[in-house]
Amino acid sequence: MLQAGDKAPDFHGRDQDGREVDSRALLAKGPVVLYFYPRDFTAGCTLEACVFRDAFSDLDARGATVVGVSADDEASHRRFADKHGLPFTLLTDPGHALAKRFGVTRAFGLGTRRVTFVIGKDGVIRGAFHHEVLIQQHVKNVQKTLSAIA
């Protein structure tokens, strides 16, 4: 898994609306909160998405762009975002290609681990947080990291 201080790989892909998302364009605006999660509509992933939703105004006020990533397709992401009122981008990751580049795949190809990265405007990872059970801790760690790099 990539750690704080590592250069984040560039990434791009399609979001829940079929729009192309590019990390360079996002980083030009400010830090990026990139969170990987296993699957839309599962209990833990729904809780995590809703915690990010509830903190969205604060994260946005800090200049951060929030992007959730899973292997689910655009249609699943659209339904998930609509059902839970998610105001941020959900990026598709077919075949876990992006998850592999960030080192967050599970052993034996069993999906993606629950990991959040805070990427500074310079493309350097400022925080990397892996919590499978303490899901609400992701946002707390993100807020602390954003305060430190402000």
* pTM score of the predicted model: 0.96
Q: Tally the domains of the chain.
A: 1
CATH number at residue 135: 3.40.30.10
- Rounded to a whole number of angstroms, the CA Rg of the chain reads 14
Q: Note whether residue 4 is domain-resident.
A: no
Domain that residue 97 falls in: 12-149
Give pLDDT tens digits for 92-140. 999 999 999 999 998 876 789 999 999 999 999 999 999 877 888 989 9
Q: Note whether residue 77 is domain-resident.
A: yes
Give bridge partners of residue 144 from the DSSP assignment: none
104 and 3 Cβ atoms separated by less than 8 Å: no
Q: Note whether residue 2 is domain-resident.
A: no
Catalytic site positions: 45
Q: Note whether residue 105 is domain-resident.
A: yes
